[in-house]
Amino acid sequence: MEWLRNLMLPAQGSAYAGEIDTVYMSLFWLSVVLFLGIAIPAVYFAWRYRYRPGRVTPHVTHNTVLEIVWSVLPLLLCVGIFFWGLKGWLEYAVAPGDAMEIQITARKWNWAFEYPDGSRDAGTLHVVVNKPVRLIMTSEDVIHDFFVPDMRVKHDIIPGRYTEEWFTPTVMGQHLFTCAEYCGKGHSDMHGTLIVESQQDFDNYIATGGTEWEAYKGHMADWGKIQWERKGCNSCHSIDGSRSKGPSWKGIWHKMEKMRDGQVVLVDEAYIKESENQPQAKIVEGFEPIMPTFQGLIKPHDFEGIVAFIQSLGTQQAQQAPQTQ
């Protein structure tokens, strides 16, 4: 029945997932049995007792024994299911004391993570294999929800409070996480990658922001593109010129960008830095001030990459720039 489970449920990324799946599959089989127990008689009776003119039907008004049986049996089943569900849930409800704590701040439509040592990142969450993690979550605006299908965990993230969820990842590699509470325009783009790695890789990542970027030395624009995806810039900025929640990055390098208040700003490294740290300082004309700040979330070489990436997307409009004051 392994194949059936794989057909129906996502890959298992935690020990807990296995337990939930057992409950799920049992409920599935129970439902199949109950369903057939109802559907088969319904169809069979319709055929077996199909209409014959003049046939007289028995006048049976009730049968107390039968009625008690079909009330009490389901009740017992339900009690059983309840306790089984409770058991699995209790495990999920209380995080172990030795769990690594990571703070999550959700906002439209992006995730910011803060690790125990205070280092921060956006969009991508790194955790250590076989080590419980406890997520302490809050929101800056509306309700979001941190859902990791492979771990079978999910919890709402509520402004003005801290909520929690935890899991123990057991499978190394990349897993999807996604926002599961409706939060507006970018709700369906609010996903990211959970990277489950060895303690060593994790420590390295915390200390240096990872060494991954070193492989991109010399072609930082590619690294920038990865950041564009990982940090969640892609949920608002396209790179093909199409308009999204934010301006496309295509062709903005060294463009004279017109702001809401009428001033015109040259898109250069400093301006990109400012957009990242204080996005509300200057608002591009025609857009809403919805970009969240990424202050402290972007490591220097990641920033370098983003700038290179934006540069690589073309500067064709630079010539027009001087016309304006």
Partner 1 sequence: MIEYQVQTMAAKVGDLPRPKKNYLNETKGFWSWAGTLDHKRIGVMYLVGTMFAFLLGGCFALLIRLTLLTPTHKLFGKVLIDAETYNRVFTMHGIIMVFLFIIPSVPAALGNFVMPLMLGAKDVAFPRLNLASFYLWVTGALMAITAMVLGAVDTGWTFYTPYSTTTDGPVTLMTGAAFVLGFSSIFTGLNFIATVHKLRAPGMGWFDMPLFVWGIYSTALIQILATPVLGITLVLLMLERNFGIGIFDPRIGGDPVLFQHFFWFYSHPAVYIMILPGMAIISELIPTFSHKTIFGYRAIAYSSVSLALVSFIVWGHHMFVAGQSQLATVVFSALTFLVAIPSGVKVFNWLGTMYKGNISLDTPMLYAIAFLILFTIGGLTGIFLGTLSTDVHLTDTYFVVAHFHFVMMGGTVTAFLGGLHYWWPKMTGRMYAEKWGRVACVMYTIGFNMTFLTQFFLGAKGMPRRYYNYLDQFQPLHAFSTVGSWVLGSSLFLTAAYLLASLRKPADAPDNPWGGTTLEWHCSSPPITHNFEEQPVVEREPYDYRPVKHA
- Nearest-angstrom CA–CA distance, 204 and 214: 13
CB of 81 to ligand HEA, least distance (A): 7
The site that binds ligand HEC (CB under 6 A) totals a number of residues, namely 32
What angle separates helix 15-48 from helix 64-93, to the nearest 10 degrees? 160
Q: What angle do CA 14, 19, 20 make, to 5 degrees?
A: 90
Q: Which two tokens stand for residue 284?
A: 């591009």
Report 217-236 residues binding ligand HEC (CB under 6 A). 231-233, 235-236
**Binding flag, residue 306, ligand HEC (CB under 6 A):** yes
What is the contact mask toward ligand HEA in residues 73 to 112, using x (rule: CB under 6 A)? Answer: -x--xx----------------------------------
**Binding flag, residue 86, partner 1 (CB under 8 A):** yes
The partner in contact with residue 144, picked from ligand CUA, ligand HEC, partner 1, none with C-beta cut-offs of 5 to 8 angstroms by kind, is: ligand CUA
The partner in contact with residue 136, picked from partner 1, ligand CUA, ligand HEC, none with C-beta cut-offs of 5 to 8 angstroms by kind, is: none
Q: Which residue from 1, 2, 3, 59 is in contact with partner 1, where contact means CB under 8 A? A: 59
Q: How many other C-beta atoms lie within 10 A of the C-beta of residue 99?
A: 16
The partner in contact with residue 1, picked from ligand HEC, partner 1, ligand CUA, none with C-beta cut-offs of 5 to 8 angstroms by kind, is: none
Per the CB < 8 A criterion, the answer to whether 121 and 297 are in contact is: yes
Is residue 112 packed enough to be buried (19+ CB in 10 Å), middle (13-18) or exposed (0-12)?
buried
Instruction: Write out the E strands in 108-216.
Output: 110-114, 120-122, 124-128, 133-139, 144-148, 153-157, 163-167, 173-179, 191-197
CA 162 to chain centre: 18
Count the residues in the chain.
325
With left for phi above 0 and alpha for psi between -120 and 50, is residue 77 left, alpha or beta?
alpha
Name 258's bridge partners: 264
Q: Which residues bind ligand CUA (CB under 6 A)?
A: 109, 144, 179, 181-183, 187, 190
Q: Which residue from 13, 192, 247, 305 is in contact with ligand HEC, where contact means CB under 6 A? A: 247
What is the contact mask toward partner 1 in residues 1 to 40, using x (rule: CB under 8 A)? Answer: ------xxxx--------xx--xx--x---x--xx--xx-
**Binding flag, residue 109, ligand HEC (CB under 6 A):** yes
- Closest to partner 1 by CB, 150 vs 302, is 150
- Nearest-angstrom CA–CA distance, 66 and 149: 42
**Binding flag, residue 287, ligand HEC (CB under 6 A):** yes
* Piece of the chain touching ligand HEC by CB under 6 A; list 60-68, 131-139, 154-162, 281-289: 281-289
Gyration radius of the chain over CA positions: 28
Summarize as ranges the residues that interact with ligand HEA (CB under 6 A): 34, 38, 74, 77-78
Summarize as ranges the residues that interact with ligand HEC (CB under 6 A): 108-110, 186, 231-233, 235-237, 245-247, 252, 257, 267, 272, 275-276, 279, 282-284, 287-292, 294, 298, 306
